Structure 1
């Protein structure tokens, strides 16, 4: 598909967890205008998290109208529209396209934990990894569908199709139904070898294959803007809309992580480390997402990434110090924190047999002060991610050549230097933090014929700030620390169940003696 030179803009849409955003991107890959509309996460009970697809649509339509109103004439200059969105949502619609449930469980919803535990108890990893490409977790859409089937059978029976969040927005824009390979690869129902729905997994989980939408390539044209969508958004009817992709793989593309050997680290509340490979890496400790350019992104998660710093601010500084002050304090301690090691598993782990993992300081002595604790927290996150990098390298047979960092942690120079030194690998940061938007623009530029491959579009659109090289002295210290960290990680696993039992016994004792027993004396 080609367009006249006057069509020099892309409209990127990001259906996020906190807001829906729309952005106009020019032919050089630079953001011209961006607007957003916030919406709420609904938490009806502990562990649940859901949103209304109607709120996503209202947010998307409002954001599009804002960027068009602020840029007269832009509507006629849009060559294509590309959306990305939060992953693992399960939007259910009937044959007429109407929602069968008002709300959708989100990626961070934990209501399926018992279903996941039952699956793990009944199925060995080697019996499903080749069909699912992933270990089980409450995030995956497959288990959310099981929960809806079991708890809301009427809504499930009325549902004709299940869509991811961005697929629902695409449906509202075009009237067409499809998902893409990046979304499908992370719902526990796609065979990684065929890149199609796994009949074996659908049957094993007791789901309905007829509800699965067609899987298409992200750069394919899904359809054109309908008259109804044009009235709601201000877009020109007929403007082509791509199939698009999930937000994380779209951000990989938009940060330049699109060739084997390149790695991405996204440090927000959690930390996701992803290595680009030619094939999925099937291991119970590793998840896999299909990428925009046709590769795979085996990834691992550290649940407490940036959240470790939030914990330090609250627990070590009573919430009174700013993050900049904490980093300045940490900089006063030497590399290695004088032998103090922090295991950053404050909220356990998302995958594997030790989801009940705990955090700890190890090696604490009388000579250690607050600066050592602050630095140890930052170093502990880096050492945890370094362990993941080694696991990914060993299982894929590839060596990481470069780590491209994004998210809040990529704005802290000391942390970047600690990480580069702990990894022994250069770390670079994209100049444009809106990586998902840039990924959408690169995909659209390829779909409209400006580039023959999405990798070429990413090369043209992604620009980097300075490269952070490992500090040789720090690297030697962290290389000596890493084996101790790894042994501590392994040996502590034997105690996690004991800690759970201790917590249960303590709660029972408190209940027996009444609330006063649990109230500190003052």
Structure 2
């Protein structure tokens, strides 16, 4: 039995699985703080507390001593900043934080080839510009900085006591030379980072440590259990679906959203804000469009209206038509394909007759429209893909998957355990590290349970064009 731990933005999710099926799951929610406009932070200790709580939940379903190996997954790009004693200096600065816009502009100016080296142009959500920001604005904290980790790697440190990361999470920092799959010293230096602040980089299935006696006492896990490096949530989500070889692609509908295409070659396309990153497995890369506002707008509007996410979608299913308002879902700016950290969300076309159901429908449609833009940014790269699999909490919505199929022109398929996604992928990497699976086995795809064909939904293409025109108009107003 293998354990996958996924450090998400809204929850820590755990999956226990054998080599071909999920045995048990648990989840504990976590909160994000925004102490200033555009800031997004979580303290690393919240992740560890949520992890131990989720493990306690899991202990009621399985025998913890049966866990043979552990894999890690997590939200990418977060800056976990540690002192010499390996204690967090401040809350982690997350992937959807937009404070470091000027630092990105400086990095583009001084390193015009960075998009070709790091696989994407600098944007404030990435890890590197956050360090330059801290050097300027929090010099006392910067003076204490001795180590930088990604979110999942902090949980690894708590479990096994080592400093380590994997290629896919390192890929999302801007410090990784994607082709060489190792740190780029010049980019690190340009952002105020000493090379020894960065952890060693491993393949995702590599064992990087074992559960310590202290971690065992806190978690109920058995001491000495191997822990593999794991991967960023995009890459582990890919592993859960077998998207490790060319011709495989998927969409992820978590707090953020991704459109992911696997490859055996490094193919940078920074001008369209398509990310070209190292995969968590050796000799593999991927291209990805990353949207900061995946399924998050559904839970956001639910919070405002006193509805659950399921109730938002259920209301959205009851209406359609031209009188539904247009919603720009950019609650935290946007990355792919706009590269616009300044844009914010807005409704257009509200009327006296607008209902809660109309508002819910406009929010769900807007998420699909973002995926239409992402697919367009790939050019002909995804033309040959026969279908796109769907994972993440948003994949539970038939309506949303139907809409995405319609606007992208690609069939969308769903499998059992789709909402487990990255945590399941982390468990599979753990099984590979324990030699229960091979790297070739990780390309196995789960059987499809539901398929959504692209169909011409009345008025949807016209509403998509209005959505695009609205963004162009709004983008001139700030």
Normalised by the size of structure 2, how large is the TM-score?
0.84
Q: Does 1:423 align with 2:403?
A: no
Q: Does 1:261 align with 2:240?
A: no
User: Match of 1:49?
Assistant: 40
User: Which residues of 2 match residues 362-381 of structure 1 at below 5 A?
Assistant: 378-381=364-367
Of residues 410-419 and 346-355 in structure 1, the stretch that sits farther from structure 2 once superposed is 346-355
Distance (whole Å) between structure 2 residues aligned to residue 63 and residue 377 of structure 1 = 31
- 1:378 to partner: Cα distance: 4.7
- Equivalenced residue count is 470
User: Match of 2:74?
Assistant: 85
- 1:184 to partner: Cα distance: 0.5
Q: 1:360 to 1:301 in 2, by over 3 A?
A: farther
Q: 1:197 aligns with which of 178, 183, 187?
A: 183
Note the residue ranges of structure 1 that are not aligned, 5 or more in a row: 1-8, 501-522
Q: 1:176 to 1:369 in 2, by over 3 A?
A: closer
Structure with greater contact order relative to length (CA < 8 Å, sep ≥ 6): 2
- 1:345 to partner: Cα distance: 5.1
- 1:138 to partner: Cα distance: 1.5
Of residues 19-28 and 143-152 in structure 1, the stretch that sits farther from structure 2 once superposed is 19-28
Q: 1:382 to 1:170 in 2, by over 3 A?
A: closer
Q: C-alpha offsets along residues 186-227 of structure 1, whole Å, 9 cap, x if unaligned?
A: 011111110111122112223212211111111001122222
User: Match of 2:450?
Assistant: 466
Q: 1:445 aligns with which of 431, 439, 444?
A: 431
- 1:398 to partner: Cα distance: 5.6
Q: Pairwise CA RMSD of aligned residues? A: 3.6
- 1:103 to partner: Cα distance: 2.2
Q: 1:94 to 1:250 in 2, by over 3 A?
A: same
Q: C-alpha offsets along residues 217-268 of structure 1, whole Å, 9 cap, x if unaligned?
A: 1100112222222222222222111111122321222133333233222234
Of residues 205-214 and 61-70 in structure 1, the stretch that sits farther from structure 2 once superposed is 61-70
Q: Does 1:219 align with 2:205?
A: yes
Asked whether the equivalents of residues 343 and 485 of structure 1 are also in contact (C-alpha less than 8 Å), the reply is no
Distance (whole Å) between structure 1 residues aligned to residue 360 and residue 83 of structure 2 = 53
- 1:102 to partner: Cα distance: 4.2
Q: Does 1:114 align with 2:105?
A: no
Q: Does 1:290 align with 2:278?
A: yes
Give the SS at the match of 2:227.
Answer: strand
Distance (whole Å) between structure 2 residues aligned to residue 360 and residue 239 of structure 1 = 51
- 1:49 to partner: Cα distance: 2.6
Give the SS at the match of 1:58.
Answer: helix
User: Which residues of 2 match residues 125-144 of structure 1 at below 5 A?
Assistant: 126-144=112-130
Q: 1:281 aligns with which of 268, 289, 313?
A: 268
Asked whether the equivalents of residues 308 and 344 of structure 1 are also in contact (C-alpha less than 8 Å), the reply is no
Distance (whole Å) between structure 2 residues aligned to residue 490 and residue 275 of structure 1 = 28
Of structures 1 and 2, the larger Rg is shown by: 1
User: Match of 2:422?
Assistant: 436
Q: C-alpha offsets along residues 454-497 of structure 1, whole Å, 9 cap, x if unaligned?
A: x523526x3431212223x549x76xx47x95698379636633
Note the residue ranges of structure 2 that are not aligned, 5 or more in a row: none
Of Structure 1 and Structure 2, the greater helix share is in 1
Q: 1:85 to 1:354 in 2, by over 3 A?
A: closer
User: Which residues of 2 match residues 134-283 of structure 1 at below 5 A?
Assistant: 134-278=120-264, 279-283=266-270
Q: 1:485 to 1:70 in 2, by over 3 A?
A: closer
Normalised by the size of structure 1, how large is the TM-score?
0.78
Distance (whole Å) between structure 2 residues aligned to residue 282 and residue 209 of structure 1 = 27
Q: 2:10 aligns with which of 18, 39, 62?
A: 18
- 1:123 to partner: Cα distance: 4.7
Distance (whole Å) between structure 2 residues aligned to residue 303 and residue 129 of structure 1 = 19
Q: 1:46 to 1:491 in 2, by over 3 A?
A: closer
Distance (whole Å) between structure 1 residues aligned to residue 416 and residue 212 of structure 2 = 36
Distance (whole Å) between structure 1 residues aligned to residue 358 and residue 13 of structure 2 = 40
Give the SS at the match of 2:268.
Answer: coil
